[in-house]
Structure 1
Amino acid sequence: MEETQLNRSLGFWSALALVIGTVIGSGIFFKQASVLQMTGSTNLALMAWLLGGIITLADGLTLSEIGAQIPHTGGLYHYMTHIYGEFWGFLSGWMQIIVYAPAIVGSIAGYLGLLVTNFFGLGAGWKAPIAIGTITLIALLNMLANRYGAAFAIVTTICKLLPIAAIIIFGLFFGHEQALGATVAGIHQSVGNFGVAVLGTIFAYDGWILITNLGGEIKRPEKLLPLAIILGILLIIILYVGVTFGIFRSLSANRINALGQNATAYFALNAFGPLGGRLVNIGIMISIIGALNGKIMTFPRIYYAMAAKKQLPFSKQLGHLNRHTQTPVVATLTLLVLTSIMILVVDTDRLSELCIFVMYSFYIAAFIGVFVLRRRNGGKPTGFSIPLYPFVPIVAIIGTGFVVVSELFFDFTGTAISIIFIALGIPLYYWLKHHYRNDGSVTKL
Structure 2
Amino acid sequence: MGEAHNLKRSLGFGSAISIVFGTIVGSGIFFKQGSVLDSAGTTGTAILAWVIGGIITLTGGLTIAEIGSQMPYTGGLYVYIENIYGRIPGFMAGWMQAVVYGPAIIGALVGFMSLMMANFFGLSASWRLPLAAISIILIAALNLLENRVGAAFSVITTIAKLIPIAVIIVCGIFWGHQDAFNQSLHEIGVHDGGFGVAVLATLFAYDGWILIANLGGEIKNAQKILPHAIVLGITAVLVVYTLITIATFRFLPAAKIHQLGDNTTSYLVTYIFGPLGGKLLSAGIIISMFGTLNGKILTFPRIVYAMAKRGDLPFSRFLSYVTPKGKSPVVATSFIAIMALLMTYFFDPDHLSDLCVFTVYCFYLMAFCGIFILRRRNQKPRPFSTPLYPWIPLISILGGLFVLISEVINDPAGVILFLGIVIVGLPIFYIVKKLERAENN
Q: What TM-score, normalized to structure 2?
A: 0.93
Structure 1 outlier segments of 4+, above 6 Å = 187-192
Partner of 1:106: 107
Identical pairs, percent:
51
Change (3 A) 1:232 1:249: same
The residue aligned with 2:397 is 397
Question: Quick one: distance in 2 between partners of 1:342 and 1:184?
Answer: 33
The structure-2 alpha-carbon separation of the partners of 1:157 and 1:185, relative to structure 1 and needing over 3 Å to count, comes to: same
Change (3 A) 1:216 1:348: farther
Q: CA deviation at 1:184?
A: 3.4
* 8 Å contact kept, 2:204–2:353: no
Alpha-carbon spacing, 1:186–1:362, altered in 2? closer, same or farther (3 Å): same
**C-alpha distance in structure 2 between counterparts of 1:60 and 1:35, whole Å:** 22
Cα distance, 1:30 vs. partner? 2.5
Output aligned runs, 1:293-372, within 5 Å. Answer: 293-344=294-345, 346-347=346-347, 349=349, 350=351, 353-372=354-373
Contact 1:75/1:212 (8 A) holds in 2: yes
Quote the offset at 1:407 in angstroms: 1.3
Matches of residues 187-266 of structure 1 in structure 2 within 5 Å? 193-266=194-267
- Is residue 143–residue 297 contact of structure 2 (8 Å, CA) maintained in 1? yes
1:411 matched residue in structure 2: 411
Q: Which position in structure 1 is the counterpart of 2:429?
A: 429
CA drift at 1:371 = 0.4
Q: After superposition, what is the alpha-carbon deviation per residue over 1:318-352, rounded to whole angstroms, capped at 9, x for unaligned?
A: 111111001111111112223334444x2263456
Distance 1:137 1:285 in 2: 14
> Residue 187 and residue 208 in structure 1: after superposition, are their counterparts in 2 closer, same or farther (change >3 A)?
farther
The 5 A counterparts of 1:118-137 are 118-137=119-138
User: Partners of 2:81 and 2:439 in 1: how far apart?
Assistant: 23
CA distance in 2, matches of 1:257, 1:348: 19
1:107–1:321 Cα change, 3 Å: same
2:129 and 2:256 map into 1 onto residues whose CA distance is 33
Q: How far apart are 1:167 and its partner, in Å?
A: 0.7
Shift of the 277–189 alpha-carbon distance from structure 1 to 2, 3 Å rule, reads closer
Tell me whether 1:278 sits opposite 2:279 in the alignment. Answer: yes
RMSD of aligned Cα (Å) = 2.3
Q: Is the 8 A contact 2:31 2:112 kept in 1?
A: no
**Is 2:388 the partner of 1:388?**
yes
What code does the residue aligned with 1:177 have?
Q
Partner of 2:149: 148
Deviation of residue 375 (structure 1)? 0.5
Any idea what SS the aligned residue of 2:216 has? coil
Alpha-carbon distance in structure 1 between the residues aligned to 2:96 and 2:192:
33
Question: How far did 1:187 drift?
Answer: 6.5
CA distance in 2 between counterparts of 1:367 and 1:192 reads: 27
Find the residue that maps to 1:216 and give its secondary structure: helix
Describe the SS at the equivalent of 1:299.
helix
Partner of 2:174: 173
In 1, Cα distance between the equivalents of 2:135 and 2:288?
13
Secondary structure (helix, strand or coil) at the match of 1:384 reads coil
Query: Deviation of residue 139 (structure 1)?
Result: 1.2
| Distance change (3 Å), C-alpha of 1:107 and 1:37 | closer
After superposition, the C-alpha distances for 1:253-300 in whole angstroms (9 at most, x for unaligned) are 344334433333332222211111111211221121111101100000
C-alpha distance in 2 between matches for 1:315 and 1:255 = 51
CA contact (8 A) 2:31 2:262 kept: yes
Q: Deviations over 1:112-144 (max 9, x none)?
A: 333323322334443333222222221121111
Out of 356-365 and 403-412, give the one that drifted further. Answer: 356-365
Do the aligned partners of 2:47 and 2:246 also contact (CA within 8 Å) in 1?
A: yes
So what's the TM-score if we normalise by structure 1?
A: 0.92
Task: Report if the CA contact (8 A) 1:364-1:397 is conserved.
Answer: yes
* Paired residues of 2:354 and 2:407 also in contact (CA < 8 A): no
Moved more, 186-195 or 300-309: 186-195
Deviation at 1:94, TM superposition (A): 1.0
Kept in 1, the 8 Å contact 2:104–2:340? The answer is yes
- In structure 1, stretches of 5+ residues that fail to align are 441-445
Distance change in 2, residues 1:428/1:30 (3 Å): closer
Secondary structure, aligned partner of 2:437: coil
Query: For the structure 1 residues 70 and 141, does the alpha-carbon distance in structure 2 shift closer, same or farther, using more than 3 Å as the test?
Result: same
Q: 1:388 to 1:143 in 2, by over 3 A?
A: same
User: 1:319–1:331: 8 Å Cα contact kept in structure 2?
Assistant: yes
Q: 1:310 to 1:252 in 2, by over 3 A?
A: same
Question: What letter matches 2:271 in structure 1?
Answer: N
Q: Give me the whole-angstrom Cα distance separating, in 2, the residues matched to 1:213 and 1:361.
A: 18
1:17 aligns with 2:18: yes
Equivalent in the alignment of 1:376: 377
Task: Measure, in 2, the Cα distance between the counterparts of 1:124 and 1:202.
Answer: 27
Q: Comparing 395-404 with 348-357, which one deviates more in the overlay? A: 348-357
* Partner deviation per Cα, 1:334-382 (whole Å, 9 max, x = no partner): 12223334444x226345644443321111000001000000013x662
Tell me, yes or no, if the aligned pair for 2:84 and 2:373 is still in contact at 8 Å.
Answer: yes
User: Could you list the runs of 5+ residues in structure 2 that have no partner in the other structure?
Assistant: none
Counterpart of 1:217, as a letter, is E
1:318, 1:331 within 8 Å by CA — same for their partners in 2? yes
Contact 1:354 1:417 in 2 (8 A): no
Following the alignment from structure 2 to structure 1, what is the Cα–Cα distance between the partners of residues 339 and 158? 26
Preserved CA contact (<8 Å) 1:39 1:189: no
| CA displacement, residues 373-427 of structure 1 (integer Å, 9 cap, x when unaligned) | 000013x662100000000000000001100011111111122222221221111
How far apart, CA to CA, are the structure 2 residues paired with 1:129 and 1:264? Answer: 22
Could you say if the C-alpha distance between residues 37 and 120 of structure 1 is closer, same or farther in structure 2, counting changes exceeding 3 Å?
A: same
Give SS of 1:321's match.
Answer: coil
Determine the C-alpha separation between the residues in 2 that align with 1:306 and 1:124.
Answer: 38
Q: Distance in 1 between matches of 2:191 and 2:236?
A: 29
Distance 1:43 1:34 in 2: 14
Distance 1:341 1:274 in 2: 35
Corresponding residue for residue 443 of structure 1: none
